Amino acid sequence: MNSRIQITSKSNFQTQATDIPQNFPLSSEGAEIILGRMIAPGELATPLAPSSIEMFGPRAACLKSEKGLLWVSDTGHHRLLGWRNIPTQDSQPADWVIGQPDFHSEGQNAKGTPGNNTFSVPTGICYCGEGMAVADAWNHRVLIWKKVPEDSNVPADLVLGQANFSENEPNRGKQKAEANTLNWCYGVFYHNGRLFVADTGNRRVLVWHQLPEENSQPADLVLGQPDMTSRNENGGGTPSASSMRWCHDITFWVDNLVVTDAGNNRVMIWDGMPTENNTPCTVVLGQKSFDVVEINQGVYFPSSSSLSMPYGVDAAGDRLLVADTANSRILGWKKPESILSLQETAADAIAGQNNFLSKSENRDFGQPKRDSLSWCYGIKICGKTAVIADSGNNRVLLWQLR
């Protein structure tokens, strides 16, 4: 299945011969475009001073169309960076910033109090109809724009999880959760009119059946907890098909709901769209059963069927692509005829590592390469482009699909 492929050197990134399964949908040449400051030979990736180019630990990004708009959660700098058109060159400067007064400022909530255009650790980001939603994790809220911003510091129109834009306590200062509160929310996703939020600190996924129209609008459905007020890890019991620990990202694989449960080192998949609270998933990837949750299935080195803190997920046609974050790799599964046959199924494609048994950052703890990864947190697909938040390398990759 594998063959030796020589990766083309671009800019100051080194060449590296890499074994990549030929059935993997990502191009064997690595990322076509790399956003963020390029690393010079001999230089280590380090926290960077903010600019229109430099990022610090970006957790997520999304592309509106293959021509643009591109928005990135520059998480460590507490801001969003936006590109009007899809970038065409490495390290292309952003056109817009939201969350800071300019490209060179940083600090939680712009070193002030929360507002309708500030952030404290922004993570998940998605387009929703004509608008955009962002998980503002440490402000324990989701900000929603009714129209996708096309300028700097456009204020959000709605807030979920808080009563107004100035409050930011987890669960609004209460010990229990409610249908309209959030706690360390890390992921957002929009599909067929529904808004999904990975409410990570409450160990649950909330679903709004229609895009919210009011501040603090309560969710309609909860997964991972028996009701809207519970928030215990794994539902207060042992891991199961319905419980979660650190849910992070959400997608649909054809018609099946998929959630990454990073804290349980697995990916949960439902047969279709759940319609009742606490519906158990149908299968999990990364673990042999619903009640086992060890990192890499209890073995130091990974395999083609194990996961270590998978955070990001998206689908490309019949392929499911998972950002296996702590293993610094992306795994691919092809959809079978029956979802039930997925249990214990091994991935058949990999990017970021030479083989399924490796897990080191940038493959050899060396310099970033066009096809290497270091703690990749997010992956989203738009047409033929995979947008990958390669957080440990302080960059975003635009990687073409075959």
Sign of CA pseudo-dihedral 212, 216, 220, 223: positive
**What was the pLDDT predicted at 44?**
63
- Sheet of 256-261: strand order equals 247-253, 256-261, 266-269, 283-285
Query: Rounded to an integer, what distance in angstroms lies between the CA atom of residue 314 and that of residue 381?
Result: 7
Query: Rounded to an integer, what distance in angstroms lies between the CA atom of residue 245 and that of residue 202?
Result: 9
335-345 pLDDT, tens digit each: 988 998 998 89
User: Which tokens belong to 294?
Assistant: 């060890």
**What was the pLDDT predicted at 39?**
76
Number of Cα atoms under 13 Å in the Cβ half of residue 207: 22
CB-based contacts of 386-389 (< 8 A; 24+ apart in sequence):
386/26, 386/314, 386/316, 386/321, 387/61, 387/62, 387/63, 387/70, 388/31, 388/61, 388/312, 388/323, 388/330, 389/58, 389/59, 389/60, 389/61, 389/72, 389/73, 389/312
Total Cβ atoms within 10 A of residue 17: 9
User: Which tokens belong to 193?
Assistant: 């009119």
Regions in the chain scoring below 70 on pLDDT: 1-23, 41-47
Global pTM value: 0.93
**What was the pLDDT predicted at 18?**
43
Query: 356: which residues sit within 8 A by CB, 6+ positions away?
Result: 302, 303, 304, 347, 350
**What was the pLDDT predicted at 295?**
98
CA 75 to chain CA centroid, Å, is 12
- Return the bridge partners of 96, or none: 82
Residue tagged 């997520």 (tokens): 60
Q: Does domain 2-400 have CATH number 2.40.128.50?
A: no
Residue 10 phi, psi (nearest 5) = -135, 145
7-50 pLDDT, tens digit each: 233 333 333 334 445 467 899 899 999 999 987 766 665 657 99
**What was the pLDDT predicted at 42?**
67
**What was the pLDDT predicted at 5?**
25
Q: What's the mean per-residue pLDDT of the chain?
A: 92
Query: Rounded to an integer, what distance in angstroms lies between the CA atom of residue 303 and that of residue 1?
Result: 16
- Return the bridge partners of 351, or none: 330
Total Cβ atoms within 10 A of residue 40: 9
DSSP reduced 3-state for 389: strand
**Cβ(219)–Cβ(274) below 8 Å:** no
Query: 225: which residues sit within 8 A by CB, 6+ positions away?
Result: 177, 202, 203, 204, 231, 232, 235, 277, 278
Domain edges within the chain = 2-400
**What was the pLDDT predicted at 45?**
55
Query: Rounded to an integer, what distance in angstroms lies between the CA atom of residue 222 and that of residue 133?
Result: 19
**What was the pLDDT predicted at 24?**
75
**What was the pLDDT predicted at 314?**
98
Distance in angstroms between the alpha carbons of the first and the last residue of the chain: 17
Among the listed residues 111, 110, 158, the one whose alpha carbon sits nearest the alpha carbon of residue 134: 158
Query: Rounded to an integer, what distance in angstroms lies between the CA atom of residue 391 and that of residue 39?
Result: 14
